[in-house]
A and B are shown apart, each in its own frame.
Chain A
């Protein structure tokens, strides 16, 4: 907000009140842009995924609707919106209806704390690339992400179908298991930064000139664990046990159709974007290598760098799906509990020891 507001006294309101009103309006506009941006990114992510999967299987992918198939997501959206929305007679109607929203809404609101770029001034006015800069930013993101899994479990339960129930149970078991490894890996970055504030975490990496993924070896180990757990967390191949179509029909969303089904679909893709964004913040240094206090024009490149990093993660998600077969459920669990969790725990302990022994910000293993 302007430091010396020219609107002091306008409509009989003093400058401080105007600051609050403007802050609320700015936040609302940003939220609107972010939610719609995420949904647009989801739509074109489906197209990108189908295209890339196609090319990796030596075929073209969708190329009939519009030039290069670019209007395919719109055609899909129209189709989904007009499909019959079936609720099974034995299903619990209200839970069945609320579950998709419980999956989608948390996915959409996590992005509020993601700092896309450095704080800067546009036309002399301060501008921020996030909706909220809160001191427990990472905690907020994980807490909200955990709510999302309720959507999957409740969908499985409310459908009154054995496949859906098994899918929901698997989803909950898997997400809870991998949350541990993911949280411990993330804590490695948090210990290094000494803060839960996502903006501060990025700022630490940018000012030290090295993203935490390059803090060898602990940062890299934590980064790999975070990404593997993130793939499991978003229920994506090769960890898509919750919707193992060979055994469970479609898993937790077996009994969903039409728009409710597409809400689960959106939630999955938006969660992928969120995990990519969080991994970028925690380990890839956000807008690194753009300095936070660069002149305005260069600062403006920060969000672009950030989005490129997210895009690389999204490509990785597709690439993994194109390459690896699905894990068996018990192997998935043993990977999470017997491999990732102990490594993440030891890694965190060693990182904490190093951080405690050396002054904060000095990293003996940095290249």
Chain B
């Protein structure tokens, strides 16, 4: 499958760098050197009048790309049922063994997910997680997503272990993106 914008491009192996021809005499060489120095000065002066690229983080929010791999979230269907069917493929895919899933039979009278099973326990250890996104790729029901939230620091180890309640998207329906965050 070719994702639009990600088509295979022609790659340039080497760019031939032409060394400047040797100066004809000492004077023209000196003139060329001084011109080069002046051009260098022009570059720095030009940058001085540009807007700095610094994002002054706490006051300014950074632009987060659509494919950013941030905090985990367990998605729901529009009817409020969980997408996760407790298959544990995410836990198997995880290279740092950060995910623990305990599946259980889905009670027919009060279904939690749409499948035959659901995740009774779903724990992500955010200290271990390396945000590689393999769990998201492994998920057959697209239940697990990595969102744009990146401010995950906390003061205790215990608070870094996210339970299912923390990870689950709020019921029944919400915006797929974090609307408070630009980009």
Contacts and interface: CB of A to CB of B under 8 A. Distances in A.
A69 interface: no
A56 B48 contact: yes
A239 to B, nearest CB: 14
A319 B52 contact: no
B40 A56 contact: no
B41 interface: yes
Nearest to A325: B40
A331 interface: no
Nearest to B34: A224
A322 B44 contact: yes
A56 B56 CA distance: 17
Contacts of A323: 40-41, 43-44
B45 interface: yes
Q: How large is the interface on B (under 10, 10 to 19, 20 to 34, 35 or more residues)?
A: 10 to 19
Interface in A39-64: 52, 54-60
Contacts of B48: 52, 55-56
B65 interface: no
Contact of B52 (A58, A320, A324): A58
Nearest to B50: A58
B43 A59 contact: no
Contacts of A57: 47
A236 B44 CA distance: 17
Interface centre among B43, B48, B54 (most CB of A within 10 A): B48
A315 B42 CA distance: 14
Interface in B2-52: 37, 40-41, 43-45, 47-48, 50, 52
A324 B37 contact: yes
Contacts of A322: 44
Contacts of A52: 48
B153 interface: no
Q: How large is the interface on A (under 10, 10 to 19, 20 to 34, 35 or more residues)?
A: 10 to 19
B66 interface: no
B53 A59 contact: yes
Nearest to B30: A339
Nearest to A57: B47
B105 to A, nearest CB: 58
Given A322-B44, A323-B43, A59 B37 contact: no
B52 A55 contact: yes
B87 to A, nearest CB: 48
Contacts of A56: 44-45, 47-48
B41 A319 contact: yes
A60 B43 CA distance: 17
A227 to B, nearest CB: 13
Contact of A58 (B40, B45, B53): B53
B41 A55 contact: no
Contacts of B43: 323
Contact of A60 (B40, B44, B47, B54): B54
A320 B45 CA distance: 10
A322 B48 CA distance: 10
Contacts of B41: 319-320, 323
Contacts of B50: 58
A59 B41 CA distance: 18
Given A323-B40, A324-B37, A324-B40, A60 B52 contact: yes
Contacts of B54: 58-60
Nearest to B39: A323
Given A323-B40, A324-B37, 8 more contacts: A55-B48, A56-B45, A58-B47, A59-B54, A319-B41, A320-B41, A322-B44, A323-B43
18 contacts: A52-B48, A54-B52, A55-B48, A55-B52, A56-B44, A56-B47, A56-B48, A57-B47, A58-B47, A58-B50, A58-B54, A59-B53, A319-B41, A319-B45, A322-B44, A323-B43, A323-B44, A324-B40
Interface of A: 52, 54-60, 319-320, 322-324
Interface of B: 37, 40-41, 43-45, 47-48, 50, 52-54, 56
